[in-house]
């Protein structure tokens, strides 16, 4: 019999709030976390807005020494992991340590620490460069910090897989339990890439929204005719995955069940999706096949929905190809319309929100969908959240390099 995997703990740091419940509440209310950039002077950039995490204090989650020595993305990752552990009420016994694993992920990594120390070198202050720079640049050490929280000594990986990293962390954690490598997996993703260098690069790439500096909350508008790029943001998400019998034996709360996982590569372009959508189609198809269900069983899709012209059109094409006439009957929404693109954290946070949709029967809206693109003609739950029971949901991430990942979640039923 196939082992079953459930979610028993969740933690998140988002542009909406520090914590899952407040972030979820604001998401369902259609509140935007996109605001003017405050971390540096962005006046010379074409895009001057981002999804910054505000009100976060690393010292609430880390010792002052560790906070000083580690990058902001590590702060976010460890904060989310700590919240997820506390939420799960998980106490790992010594004989379970090697049956507990960690898979963490990022896209950008420790860019802020690198920029700050490079600036010291430019100023001739090489002796002031932190000896911990190399540890921060070896971003996998962040996963080691997660493992140390609960003495997770089992299977251990760190992914750097662009926009699909967080979803792949969940999927590979799911597989580790399915294949008997672990009973418990702590998985998550984090990024903190709102920096002058990264933003200048994205400006020059032409990938981010540039028309809404005076109205930041309208900048991210997936599937809307006036979309012209994504909005970069920061934060983290972490989940505790457990084998079902293990979770039931300790009386754990269960948010949702993970049924299947699929991943593919477009093998096409560094940033553009395969126009035919075939890579995304096969990715979703693999996840559905792995779950042992059919496309007809999917009630809701948490779309990648970045607000770029190519991505939104291609994702729509892919959904139509896979679901056929039934595509128009599926509720689809894009969390990024409110939280922006959290890079390697996106899939982890969207996985958390998908679990909440299943648990509470609320589908978050896609805000800013004021003038739908005629090429994007599906049900994207515009403007307002929708109360509707969802039994099985699909969460998509399609990243730079053509990396695609899809997870199938089910409402938990004992």
- The answer to whether 55 touches 18, Cβ cutoff 8 Å, is yes
DSSP track, 125-148: -GGGS-TTHHHHHSTTHHHHHHHH
Say whether 156 is catalytic.
no
Residue 65, CB half-sphere, CA atoms under 13 Å: how many? 0
Assign residue 211 a region (left: φ > 0; alpha: ψ between -120 and 50; beta: otherwise).
Answer: alpha
> What's the CA angle centered on 165, arms 163 and 171, to 5 degrees?
130
Confirm whether 163 is a catalytic residue.
Answer: yes
Q: How many residues does the chain have?
A: 414
Q: Are 274 and 268 in contact (CB under 8 A)?
A: yes
Catalytic residue from among 150, 220, 304, 376: 304
**Strands annotated E in 208-339:** 235-243, 256-265, 300-302, 331-333
The active-site residue, picked from 163, 220, 283, 376, is 163
266 contacts 400 by C-beta, under 8 angstroms: no
Interatomic CA distance for residues 235 and 341, integer angstroms: 10
Check if 304 is active-site.
yes
* Cα 125 to Cα 117: distance, rounded to the nearest angstrom: 9
Residue 327, exposed/middle/buried by CB under 10 A (0-12, 13-18, 19+)?
A: buried
Residue for token pair 């490598």: 181
For helices 346-360 and 165-178, angle between their N-to-C axes, nearest 10 degrees:
70
Strands 235-243 vs 300-302: parallel, antiparallel or unpaired: unpaired
Distance between CA atoms of residues 386 and 389, nearest Å: 10
Of 47, 220, 283, 341, catalytic? 341
d(CA 300, CA 392): 7
Catalytic residues: 163, 304, 341
């Amino acid at each position: 019999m196939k082992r079953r995997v459930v979610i028993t703990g969740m933690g998140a740091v988002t542009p909406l709030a520090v914590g899952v419940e407040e972030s979820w509440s604001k998401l369902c209310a259609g509140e935007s976390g996109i605001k003017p950039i405050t971390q540096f002077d962005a006046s010379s950039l074409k895009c001057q807005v981002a999804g910054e995490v505000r009100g976060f204090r690393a010292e609430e989650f880390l010792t002052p020494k560790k906070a000083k020595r580690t990058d902001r993305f590590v702060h976010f990752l460890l904060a989310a992991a700590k919240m997820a552990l506390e939420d799960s009420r998980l106490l790992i016994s010594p004989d379970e340590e090697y049956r507990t694993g960690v898979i963490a992920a990022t896209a950008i990594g420790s860019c802020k620490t690198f920029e700050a120390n490079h600036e010291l070198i430019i100023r001739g202050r090489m002796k002031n460069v932190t000896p911990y720079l190399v540890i921060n640049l070896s971003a996998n050490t962040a996963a080691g910090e997660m493992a140390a929280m609960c003495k997770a000594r089992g299977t251990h990986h760190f992914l750097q897989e662009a926009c699909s990293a967080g979803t792949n962390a969940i999927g590979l954690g799911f597989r580790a339990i399915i294949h008997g490598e672990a009973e418990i997996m702590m998985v998550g993703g984090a990024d903190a890439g709102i920096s002058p260098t990264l933003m200048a690069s994205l400006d020059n790439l032409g990938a981010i929204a540039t028309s809404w500096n005076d109205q930041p909350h309208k900048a991210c508008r997936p599937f809307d005719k006036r979309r012209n790029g994504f909005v970069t943001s920061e934060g983290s998400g972490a989940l505790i995955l457990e084998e079902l019998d293990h979770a039931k034996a300790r009386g754990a709360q269960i948010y949702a069940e993970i049924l299947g996982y699929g991943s593919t590569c477009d093998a096409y372009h560094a940033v553009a999706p395969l126009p035919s959508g075939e890579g995304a189609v096969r990715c979703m198809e693999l996840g559905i096949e792995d779950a042992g269900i059919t496309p007809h069983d999917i009630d809701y899709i948490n779309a990648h929905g970045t607000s770029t012209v190519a991505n939104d059109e291609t994702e729509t094409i892919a959904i139509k190809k896979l679901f056929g006439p039934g595509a128009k009957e599926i509720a689809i929404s894009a969390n990024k319309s409110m939280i922006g693109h959290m890079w390697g954290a996106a899939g982890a946070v969207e996985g958390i929100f998908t679990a909440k949709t299943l648990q509470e029967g609320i589908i978050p809206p896609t805000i800013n969908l004021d003038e739908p693109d005629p090429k994007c003609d599906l049900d994207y739950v515009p403007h307002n959240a929708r109360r509707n029971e969802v039994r099985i949901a699909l969460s998509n991430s399609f990243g730079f390099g053509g990396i695609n990942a899809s997870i199938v979640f089910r409402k938990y039923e004992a």
